[in-house]
Structure 1
Amino acid sequence: MKHLVIIGLVIPEPASTAAGHRMMQLIRLFSEADYKITFLTASNNLEFSEKIEIQKIEINNESFDKKIRNLNPDLVLFDRYVTEEQFGWRISENCPNALKIIDTEDLHFLREARRKAFVEKRTVENKDFVNEIFRREIASILRCDLSLIISEFEFQLLTEKFKINPDILFYMPFLTENIEENKTGFQKRKYFVSIGNFLHEPNWQTVLKLKSIWKNIRKQLPDAELHIYGAYSTEKVFQLHNEKEGFLVKGRAENVESLFKQYRVLLAPIPFGAGLKGKLWESMQFGLPNVTTSIGAEAMHKALPWNGFIKNSDDEFVEKAVELYQNEPAWNQANENAYVILNQVFDKKLYVKQFWEKLSDIENNLERHRTENYLCKILQHHQLNSTKYMSRWIEEKNKK
């Protein structure tokens, strides 16, 4: 039995974040292939986390070295680039033959570039991409044997714009199985909904946008309401609650499936971000058409018709939100589009066989794979002479 060690930035919270959903999908994927899985984390987010067996570790502590040697994994999966920065060099020193994989979740440097442009009220420029996060994230990708990329747009950005060798990348979006067409019809649903984890800045900005345009939707649909859900809602979020306006902040959603099957339209005017949007993927599964932006729909539907509307201007967004809410044939067509997208973009069967073939090829030719990825050796050298000794210095400081 092969042994996979996952080093988690946090304990997965699939009910709170798309990242938690993604991590649980990867855990199930390896479990189905009969891997022994050990989940290591320094995090303490227990209240809303998935009930999985975890082992605690410390950052900048030599106790990790002994633990990882005893575990002796065949593969190590890093949860985003920051865990590779913290523990990657220790894996290389203590388990040099372990295959190292990063699940990027999304490209953090891309999200940061778009955030900066959004704040400065301008379009993204090429110079925005090469920020501090870019240097760190690309270095982590190059140090590893394989990086999982959730967005086809981001895969192309890495390979075409930044010339990253596609041999060290694997495109794997959210994975959907047992795909069913929507069975909860238009007439059984009512109201608008929006959802998003409020630890994530784009979700807060999305709600602010909704607050500013909601009055224009309500003017045309005076009996409609917009219900806002999201994990880690703070006081500033609840201050937007206004029953008279039909703008209701509900807080954490306990079960997204049952929730989404109650509503008629999801609103997601996402202003910036990266990766795939979990709320939009789930809305396709649960028969909930949406209106979103080009950033929201990015890499989620190839060239297929969207399950709703994609609009970037406020006036067009409002117009299509009202239309989708009132027009039953358009709403039904949106759900038919969702079924096609799920089957042609997110069906698990499209990716799993190729993934295991990719892993097998790297494992069977690890020395050659690493030799051809010569930048890995250069960056390993520099990391082992910077990150390593900074960590060792912190260790000694903590002892004193």
Structure 2
Amino acid sequence: MEEEKILPGQKASLISDLQERIDSRDEEIKALRKGLAQKDKAIGALEQRLRQEETLIFKWRQEILRLKGIEDTLAWKAVRRFFNFLEDVVLPPHTRRGQLFIEILSRLRTHSEGPPKSEEGQNHPFLGSRQEFESTDPFPCHGSEALTFPVGVEPQVSIIIPAWNRFGYTYRCLKSILEKTSDVQYEIIIVDDGSTDETKGLSGKVRNIRLIRSESNLGFVRACNMGAEKARGEYLLFLNNDTEVTEGWLKAMVGLMENDRTVGVVGAKLIFPEGCLQEAGSIVWSDGMTSGYGRGEDPDSPPFCYRKEVDYCSGACLLVRKRLFFDLGRFDEIYSPAYFEDADLCLGAKRMGYKVAYHPEAAIKHHEHGSGTREKAIDLYYKNRLKFVKKWGPVLKKHLKPKPENVLRARDARTGKRMLVIDEIIPVSSLGSGYPRTTVLLKYLAELGYVITFFPLTDGFPYQPGTKALQRMGIEVFYGEGLNLHRHLEERHDFYDVVLVSRPHNADRVMQHLRKFFPKALILYDAEALYSLREIERLRLRGVPLNQSEESEIIRRELGSMKQADSIIVVSEYEKERMEAYGLKNLFRWGYPFSLRPPQKAFEERKDLLFVGGFLQSPSPNEDAMLHFAQAIFPRIQESLGCGLLVVGTNYLESVSRLQSDHITVVGFVEELTDYYERSRIFVVPTRFAAGISLKLLEAMGHGVPAVVTPLIARQLGLADGQGVLVGKDDEDFAAKVVELYENEKLWRELQREALDFVRQHFDPEEMKSRLANFFRSFDAR
């Protein structure tokens, strides 16, 4: 290839261009080096800060150990008894003497010693932010895009946001509302509380909001009241301007109000910007002090993720029924400019018979102290605490004392008995195996007022929608890797009034420990199935001969741990009689509540056979039933009818998947079964070994689908051939019964009617809930 020649006049020009490029690159390299130096400096500062934090944590740990050592001494115990006597007898906070004593201590704290500080000068841990204290805006929003809210709506909720300067905070708050709130009709009311920054020009950057201006700084309490006067919504949502909302927050809070008319106030889960928890509801102690529950913890930890009643929730994000708010006289302005107005409002709502609820699905990022200085805040906190104690003295006497050992009890304001439920996994109805019944049992117990903790002993995975459903019922559900029941029992020693254990292998592991940790608790065992009976039937099918002594030994082995319980819940009369034959007492029969679903389609509109059950492991009763039916019974039916078979249910087994054919459809998991019940003419239960009761048979009967079952299944429910079901004594008889029922409309209609009557008489939800309540009430009388 020929070289390109450079003409004499081009050489100087090329050299000049090259030099300029080199100079430009040098400048870029210098800039990069400068940037790297700055980053190195920043990294060094962060490393130094980390070392300081680690040193601080070490010092705190050492201090905790030192204080623990002091606490264990006889001298400290004597001092503690003296101060308890001083507080309870000599200077109770509800008396004038007590209030004077508190005021003296407050003045000493805030003036003589200065405000409480950590080594890093951080804010006092119990204080929230309020808009009346000046600080620098960390989020300047010069040139930010305009925000346009929906127009022309009839608001269900009026979101009231007081703002005094800090436009950057307010803008980010509004932007998050616009982006994360699309499922509730709302209006935005901004109360400009005498701002001097860009907040004054808010209407030019945010459209379709209502802006109320105050010429002077009124403070948080009066600004909120001013905004409430202009609200059009059924609900008032008071929101700090230094917050950012998350997806679904408002729908969750409003939904709780809509579904429970006894709830008057709902608060949110407040999370610090760095990701740790600020509060999951708040506690009011007997001396008028307050604590945010869970501060500094992981916000996704189980104790912070279930609905509950609380003493109060922070006014940083608080939903209130508008009528209730005005019946209470709005926020009490004795607390102006701020602090204790939220606790005061919540106690007022409780006095009027309403509940104050915490909703964990309303997660709010909160820049605590983003709008205030701590010195002024602490001074106001202590002053307003005096007013709070004076107003609510008689009520506060009923609250717990501010002690670490009382936090667990004080975190949940419900007064029902505390119950620990131990089972295999978090119940998911789609898995079958008795879990649909477990879910209903937990629901009824929660509705009866029990404050429940659920602990999965084998698998801590948070299966959905089961976990969320229980949390919405107000049940604390433990989940995650590394769950340790023994540690849980130790940490909550004497905390539970009732312990309920399900499944024999779980009972074998825990029954011996329960009396040690909960000596006064009622210990119950839920026998959702007598597994030994199932095992005996399985061995028979495999051709393993068992004599009466061997059968008895298998049964006695299962019953051993049950005997340690105060009472046993059984699911069928048949299993109850078997247990009584082995000397067990205090047995209570409670099956599976089911609400009737009146059938819609007529006989001639239905074509298929239907089997419903989960195939989770091999071998199992459902796998055996379906494989045997497909191979030994269904071909006989096909010879006469030519109908199809639908196999519906969670399926993890290849053996079942291989049954798919022109006449057998392996459907798998289905969220809603109604359509399958409606299209099917006959429900089949060819189960050859099982225990408990067939929940899916009850559901099919409750949907008006006549069934053909084995003698085992009929015995479980106390059914006879021709009374609500047909019973196939063997494979040939089973196939013949299916054919007869499929072709005989008169028989089909008669069985449909009897099936609906059977479910109505024996499994009515209200009647079963009443029986459950009476069962637990019987122990209260002892």
TM-score normalised to structure 1 length: 0.82
Cα separation, 2, equivalents of 1:304 and 1:349: 28
Of 678, 682, 701, 1:284 maps to 701
Indicate the residue corresponding to 1:44 in structure 2.
Answer: 460
Deviation at 1:266, TM superposition (A): 1.2
Of 47, 69, 78, 2:493 maps to 69
Of 118, 124, 127, 2:541 maps to 118
Cα separation, 2, equivalents of 1:304 and 1:341: 14
Does the 8 A contact of 1:182 with 1:335 survive in 2?
Answer: no
Which of 205-214 and 276-285 deviates more?
205-214
Distance verdict in 2 for CA 1:128–1:230, change over 3 Å? farther
- 2:612 is the alignment partner of 1:188: no
Secondary structure, aligned partner of 2:614 = coil
Residue type of the alignment partner of 2:498: L
Cα separation, 1, equivalents of 2:520 and 2:692: 30
Indicate the residue corresponding to 1:382 in structure 2.
Answer: none
Residue type of the alignment partner of 2:607: K
Secondary structure, aligned partner of 2:525 = strand
Cα separation, 2, equivalents of 1:128 and 1:273: 19
Which of 247-256 and 286-295 deviates more?
247-256
Does the 8 A contact of 1:268 with 1:292 survive in 2?
Answer: yes
Residue correspondence of structure 1 range 215-254 to structure 2 within 5 A = 215-222=635-642, 224-243=643-662, 246-254=663-671
Of 504, 507, 510, 1:87 maps to 510
* Structure 2 spans left out of the alignment, 5+ residues: 1-415, 472-476
Does the 8 A contact of 2:615 with 2:649 survive in 1?
Answer: yes
Q: What is the root-mean-square deviation of aligned Cα atoms in Å?
A: 2.3
Deviation at 1:22, TM superposition (A): 0.8
Which of 97-106 and 50-59 deviates more?
50-59
Residue correspondence of structure 1 range 1-400 to structure 2 within 5 A = 1-42=416-457, 43-48=459-464, 50=466, 51=468, 52-53=470-471, 54-56=477-479, 62-69=486-493, 72-120=495-543, 126-132=548-554, 134-159=555-580, 161-165=581-585, 168-177=586-595, 179=596, 181-199=598-616, 201-212=620-631, 213-222=633-642, 224-243=643-662, 246-302=663-719, 305-365=722-782
Deviation at 1:48, TM superposition (A): 4.9
**Cα deviation 1:70-117 (Å, max 9, x = unaligned):** 7x1111111222222222233211111111111111101111111111
Residue type of the alignment partner of 1:73: Y
Larger RCO: Structure 1 or Structure 2 (Cα < 8 Å, ≥ 6 residues apart)?
1
Cα separation, 2, equivalents of 1:192 and 1:291: 10
Deviation at 1:121, TM superposition (A): 7.0
Secondary structure, aligned partner of 2:683 = strand
Does the 8 A contact of 2:529 with 2:693 survive in 1?
Answer: yes
Secondary structure, aligned partner of 2:421 = strand
Cα separation, 1, equivalents of 2:625 and 2:721: 25
Deviation at 1:324, TM superposition (A): 1.4
Deviation at 1:319, TM superposition (A): 1.3
Residue type of the alignment partner of 1:263: S
Deviation at 1:364, TM superposition (A): 3.6
Secondary structure, aligned partner of 2:716 = coil
**Cα deviation 1:313-339 (Å, max 9, x = unaligned):** 222111111121222211111110112
Does the 8 A contact of 1:12 with 1:49 survive in 2?
Answer: no
Does the 8 A contact of 1:113 with 1:128 survive in 2?
Answer: no
Deviation at 1:304, TM superposition (A): 8.7
* Structure 1 spans left out of the alignment, 5+ residues: 366-400
Secondary structure, aligned partner of 2:646 = strand
Distance verdict in 2 for CA 1:357–1:27, change over 3 Å? same
Does the 8 A contact of 1:293 with 1:310 survive in 2?
Answer: yes
How much identity, in percent, do the aligned residues show? 24
Residue type of the alignment partner of 2:551: F
- Number of residue pairs aligned between Structure 1 and Structure 2: 355
Distance verdict in 2 for CA 1:333–1:62, change over 3 Å? closer
Deviation at 1:308, TM superposition (A): 3.1
Residue type of the alignment partner of 1:149: V
Cα separation, 2, equivalents of 1:261 and 1:110: 33
Cα separation, 2, equivalents of 1:218 and 1:304: 23
Which of 43-52 and 227-236 deviates more?
43-52
TM-score normalised to structure 2 length: 0.43
Distance verdict in 2 for CA 1:163–1:214, change over 3 Å? same
Residue type of the alignment partner of 2:504: Y
Does the 8 A contact of 1:99 with 1:363 survive in 2?
Answer: no
Cα separation, 1, equivalents of 2:569 and 2:432: 18
Distance verdict in 2 for CA 1:303–1:204, change over 3 Å? closer
Please tell me whether Structure 1 or Structure 2 has the larger radius of gyration of its CA atoms. 2
